[in-house]
Chain A
Amino acid sequence: MIKILRLGSQLCIVDRGRHGYRRYGVPTGGAMDQHSALVANTLVGNHPDAALLELYQAGHRLHFMQDATVVLAGANADVSTDDRPIPIHQVFKMHAGETLSVGTFIQGVRIYLAIAGGIKTTPLLGSRSLLSGVSGDRIRIGDILPFDSVSSGSKGHGHVSPMPISSHNTISATPGPEWHRLTAAAQRQLLNTTYYITEQSDRMGYRLAGTALKGKYPGIMTSAVLPGTVQLLPSGLPIILMRDCQTTGGYLRILQILPEDINQLAQRPINGSVVFEIQDW
């Protein structure tokens, strides 16, 4: 078991999310950076569906109450135990009684910590991912998280190359269902604007700041959205829906971000910049 001694901004139990329940209004959720979560699980020999921890920003302290085989993937940060630094992408042992601390982030904002055997909280609707309205939505100091003690997973789940965190701000997207409701001038402006991720951003969505598109942008009749859908608010500013986003929405769906770039966005900090680049099918 792991005891949470201290929390940074956010610590989540994540996996590949809930699939099959969007029709009931249940968001998919799961790891914000799905690729890095998969890298972590594969390195410790876990099944790709295994639950792991998503550590957002600095300040977390985790106390291991039993031995564990562990690996980190995703963001690059100063992570250490009581007596040694822990490099990324290298499987290491935590011994019962040791504490792992997450310090300064160098690149990216989300670390995935996988334990061989996986986190073993009770699944709800086929997933252990924390989600408001379905399971508890947050972990608190003092919480104890169970995991299966295995020296190493079963292996044989293949090797997945880590995703280099992009130093460019370009995010690739395809046209959304309402892209053609924008004038050609508005489309050009949207693609030529550098947007910034505001503090009103979370696992549900990133609100962007920048020059708002001129014009009126009335909504649509409520229809499906997905993680990676870029909606245009009536204010003329876009919002990017992320993993915990709701299942339907009424704003114009102007772009759909490519899957690998949703993972890139998951590693981008508040005030980080975004430039959209459109790709036709």
Chain B
Amino acid sequence: MLLPIRYHRFSTNALLLEWHPARDISTLHSITAMDHAIQSQWRDELIETVPAYHSLLVIMKSTLHNPDRLISQIKNLSTPEVFLQNQKHIIEVDYSPRHGVDLDYVSMQTHFSIDQIIQVHTSATYIVHLMGFLPGFVYLSGLDPRLHIPRRSQPRIRVPKGAVAIASEQTGIYPVESPGGWHIIGHTDQEFFNPREDPPTSFRPGDTVQFVSIQSP
């Protein structure tokens, strides 16, 4: 299915393709199909492409002297349906309060018990839309609306590596230690980013994520 795209010249050598703002699967499919088509068409001219929820940044090696021509070439690309690989990632999370330091706060805000929060968080299947913010950080859709609470007004200076967190309609895992404003509800020991491997993470847009509750020793 073809969705309408807005084109914006982003920099001397980059073009931004923007779909209607949505975090839905048809937009994800449309972007992924376009991403594949552009990467195969301009393999040697590209530095890279950066997909997001509703956009694709196309970064070329040299200055875009004729962006209008590039835009019309993109419009004429055939973008066959791409079958997303749909790798499923099972992520084991220790939701005990010593890791899930914001569970009490989330419980207060949602009127759920901690067990119910865990039950709701682990029963959904999440979809990977993009990576950004930190090396290997995945943006997931699918968080139960009953767990939507605004991010912290004061971000933490230090969120530990492996923290599983929620904020507004999002949930995610901190792949490295970093500052952060999300509510921490658990911890995983799994590694999601290894700069010694290329590509450095096994996540791809379209993959699914399932959290499972485990008790750490």
Contact = CB atoms under 8 A, between A and B. Distances in A.
Nearest to B196: A124
B180 interface: no
Interface in B1-46: 8-12, 14, 16, 18, 21, 23
A177 B18 contact: yes
B176 interface: yes
Nearest to A262: B11
Q: Which of B18, B57, B195, B201 has the most CB of A within 10 A?
A: B195
Interface in B177-212: 178, 193, 195-196, 198-201, 203
Interface string A111-136: 00000000000001110000011110
Nearest to B9: A281
A19 B14 CA distance: 14
B176 to A, nearest CB: 4
B143 to A, nearest CB: 15
Contacts of B50: 22-23, 224, 247-248
A22 B10 contact: no
Interface in A214-228: 220-224, 226, 228
A203 to B, nearest CB: 15
Interface string A229-262: 0000000000000000011100000001011000
A270 B62 CA distance: 32
A279 B139 CA distance: 34
Interface residues on chain A, size class? 20 to 34
Contacts of A221: 21, 23, 52-54
Given A24-B201, A135-B195, A224-B55, A246 B12 contact: no
Contact of B134 (A133, A226, A256, A259): A133
B48 A20 contact: yes
Interface residues on chain B, size class? 35 or more
A125 B132 contact: no
Nearest to A125: B195
Contacts of A220: 21
A220 B8 CA distance: 15
B137 interface: yes
A195 B176 CA distance: 33
B195 A246 contact: no
A125 B48 contact: no
A133 B135 contact: yes
B133 interface: yes
A223 B12 contact: no
B136 interface: yes
Given A26-B135, A26-B200, A247-B132, A134 B21 contact: no
A213 B56 CA distance: 29
A19 B60 CA distance: 11
Contacts of A26: 135, 195, 200
Interface of A: 19-27, 124-126, 132-135, 174, 176-177, 220-224, 226, 228, 246-248, 256, 258-259, 281
19 contacts: A20-B48, A21-B199, A21-B200, A23-B48, A23-B49, A27-B135, A133-B136, A134-B195, A174-B11, A177-B16, A221-B21, A222-B52, A222-B53, A222-B130, A224-B56, A224-B57, A248-B132, A248-B133, A281-B67
Given A20-B48, A132-B176, A135-B195, 14 more contacts: A21-B48, A24-B200, A25-B193, A124-B196, A126-B198, A133-B135, A174-B9, A177-B8, A221-B23, A222-B52, A224-B10, A224-B132, A247-B50, A247-B133
